[in-house]
Amino acid sequence: MKIAGLDIGTTGCKITVFDEKGQRLLKEYRDYPVSRKHHEHEIDIAGVRDSVLAVVKSMTESCPDIGGIGVTSFGETFVVTDEEGTPLFPSMLYTDPRGQKECDILKEKIGEERLAEISGLVPHEMYSIAKIMWVFRNRPDVCEKAAHIFLIEDYIVYLLTGVCQIDYSLAARTMAFDIRALDWSQEILEAAGVRKELFSKPVPTGTIAGEPLEEICRQTGLSSQTKIVSVSHDQVAAAVGAGVFDETKAVDGAGTVECMTCVLSEIPKNPEFYKGKYAVTPYIVPGKYLCYAFSYTGGALLQWFLETFAGDELKKAKEENVSAYDVMEAGYSGPTGLLVLPHFAGAATPYMDTGSKGAILGLTMETEKKEIYWACMEGVAYEMRLNEEILRSAGISFSMLHATGGGASSEVWTQIKADVLNVPIKVLEAKDAGTVGSAMITGTAVGYFQDLKEAAKCMIREKGICYPDAGRHEAYEKIFQRYRHLYEAVRPLVG
């Protein structure tokens, strides 16, 4: 028998199959449309549903003997359905600007500190509850017919099994979940005017929902004995797949978004922590929590640069059958001295400012294209260094990073991060730690592994460790002292 991890992302879903020894056997992927208009950022939930069923069907054609499928997804986006599970309204992405007024109403009714104390989140319109309020206030027809409110993970679990359950970590992304009581907050929901019964039942990360519905088995070829597991928010699965289970380590998720995930032994009370607008999420390890420090543009910034300015390099890379990233990184020898504010899609932590813009400073007539690209890599690293400094001031620190994601393939970028942050970075063999983590959690849930430690021994493989260089760290640190003032200097100029 085999286990599979189903990961639903913002623009596509993938399913990856592993055998009992943790060997990767198969990966299938399908994308779906996302609409980003000026005031409406939405995802086609019908497209998500169809893509999920398509990847599962494609998987079973090659691997019919699936013992368990774990479902993980991105956060915040929700699905309002009627009694039959039919969506009533387009699903709003976390970047959708609607909900700011409603978030302000919640802050007035409950207070920012109380909201953060209950939910583990500094109030922000990106979270689900503010957008749900917007829908119910502006679309009374939807409010009247609403029978369920799902996030993406529990919507897919419901689609496959008919069971309404959501794991704690994803429920926490709504800003309506009590992270201490591990249940929906009646206080927040009453203030929001949303009924608790609309939401799925909260369950521990890695809880089996049941077997596929008969109709799903017919459509996809799944066995009626396959177990469907509610895994987690994708960043939680990535932490598990990276082997980060205690406070000494953190995750460097080097994907489209750059995300540094830290383990906490308790919910922080330090005011400095909440000034950084960090989120606290229940973790799969009992008594532990995770917090996220992230930049909306990690690998996305490098991709933008390549597509916008590096046409010749892309052509050369294609002709020579090499990576365009390798072509651009060749020749890097240390700090450029340029400053890049990587807020090209707004600012995430510690600012959570969707109105912030990107900036490149220090250009001269002698500046070459590659230097700007290198400075983009440095800018993302400086942004993480800024977050690390704030977290450390709040009593949160780590002695090693475990790197995953496509960006972890870059030795140059990994070395930059190690030198800027002055911590060693362990690079893992698997780029997609979320898929590995989902399979680890699923395998444990269905009894293939005794616990996550055994799963980690089977499935997590180390590629190497990148150690910081003291001299280069000193050089980067001098530039970082300028970088830390960059947001305050640029923000008033961009409206």
Give residue-wise pLDDT tens across range 230-258: 999 999 999 999 999 999 999 999 988 89
The 10s digit of each residue's pLDDT in 304-339 is 999 999 998 899 889 999 999 999 999 999 999 999
**At residue 174, does pLDDT exceed 90?**
yes
- Angle CA(393)–CA(394)–CA(397) in degrees, nearest 5? 80
pLDDT category of residue 20 using cuts at 50, 70 and 90:
confident
pLDDT category of residue 94 using cuts at 50, 70 and 90:
confident
Q: What is the pLDDT of residue 37?
A: 82
Average pLDDT across the chain, whole number: 94
Q: Does domain 243-428+461-495 sit in CATH 3.40.640.10?
A: no
Q: Report domain extents, the chain.
A: 2-237, 243-428+461-495
Q: What is the pLDDT of residue 104?
A: 96
d(CA 74, CA 97): 18
Q: What's the CATH number for 2-237?
A: 3.30.420.40
d(CA 75, CA 196): 19
Q: What is the pLDDT of residue 269?
A: 86
pTM comes to 0.91
Rounded to 5 degrees, φ, ψ at 302 are: -65, -40
In 3D, which of 455, 302, 271 has the Cα closest to residue 378? 302
pLDDT category of residue 51 using cuts at 50, 70 and 90:
very high
**At residue 115, does pLDDT exceed 90?**
yes
Q: Is the Cβ–Cβ distance between 264 and 247 less than 8 Å?
A: yes
pLDDT category of residue 271 using cuts at 50, 70 and 90:
confident
DSSP type of residue 493: G
Q: Do domains 2-237 and 243-428+461-495 have the same CATH topology?
A: yes
The 10s digit of each residue's pLDDT in 340-383 is 999 998 999 999 898 899 999 999 999 999 999 999 999 999 99
d(CA 24, CA 278): 34
**At residue 392, does pLDDT exceed 90?**
yes
In 3D, which of 314, 303, 313, 301 has the Cα closest to residue 340? 301
